[in-house]
Amino acid sequence: MIAHLHGVLLKKTTESVIIDIAGVGYEVFVPLSTFYKLPEETVEASLHIYTHVREDALSLFGFHTILEKDIFLMLISVSGIGPRLANNILSGMGPQDLLDAIARGDSVRLQAIPGLGKKTSERIVLELKERAVKVYGKKDVPAIHVAGVKEKRLFDDALSALVNLGYTVKTAKPALEKAASAVKETTLEALIRESLRILS
């Protein structure tokens, strides 16, 4: 199983990245919390990896921190939650906020994440609350910074991220436009967070 990758970041999107290692390009699916931490393309990057093996496919999921990977592993241990949904859940809330919501038993807060219904949110809290309480507060998540991205590309990346989370372009675009006028600092993180707040 692949547990860690370090190489040159050939391409990055809000859904996946390609890392070149000795001439081989590995596609890795990442949550937004990891995407925010990635360097610019052509720069070296490292990711903690979860390898998901099925009969017809092998998929890699990458994380900037061990905390993100730990929460991801917790989520896929819940019945009915696969790697793609777990990735979307991490993208919809972020590791520390997600851990906080689970530890507090706040299933209503989880329901604001696209793709999570009432029953699944309640199941997450029921099955993971004790584990989340043990992990919560023990690991710090560093601050997120995004810089040097042109405004148009920034808007397009944010829109793409919202669509990947399950929103339609028709719904996401107006929220993103409102977010753009509301945030003090125009960064990808700020746009997506404010858009998610508006949409919820």
- pTM assigned to the model: 0.68
State whether residue 51 is helix, strand or coil.
strand
Question: Residue written as tokens 């945030």?
Answer: 183
What is the predicted pLDDT for the residue at 137? 53
pLDDT digits (tens, 9 = 90+) for 92-137: 888 888 888 898 888 888 988 888 889 999 999 999 988 888 876 5
Which of the pair, 10 or 56, is modelled with greater confidence? 10
What is the predicted pLDDT for the residue at 142? 35
Calpha distance 188→4 (Å, rounded): 26
- One-letter amino acid of 94: G
Share of residues in the chain with pLDDT > 70 (%): 92
What is the predicted pLDDT for the residue at 182? 80
Mean pLDDT of the chain: 85
pLDDT digits (tens, 9 = 90+) for 176-191: 888 887 877 778 888 8
Average pLDDT over residues 151-180: 81
Of 9-23, 38-52, 57-71, 133-147, least confident by mean pLDDT is 133-147
| Both structure tokens of 148 | 């040097």
List of residues 6+ apart from 28 with CB closer than 8 A: 5, 16, 17, 18, 19, 47, 49, 60, 61, 62
- Residue 20: closest CA among 45, 49, 57, 52: 45
What is the predicted pLDDT for the residue at 136? 65
| 158 contacts 188 by C-beta, under 8 angstroms | yes
What is the predicted pLDDT for the residue at 144? 32
> Domains of the chain by range and CATH?
4-63 (2.40.50.140), 66-135 (1.10.150.20), 151-199 (1.10.8)
What is the predicted pLDDT for the residue at 105? 87
Calpha distance 56→17 (Å, rounded): 21
| Both structure tokens of 3 | 């547990």
State whether residue 53 is helix, strand or coil.
strand
Does the structure show a pLDDT above 50 at 148? no
pLDDT band at residue 89 under the 50/70/90 scheme:
very high
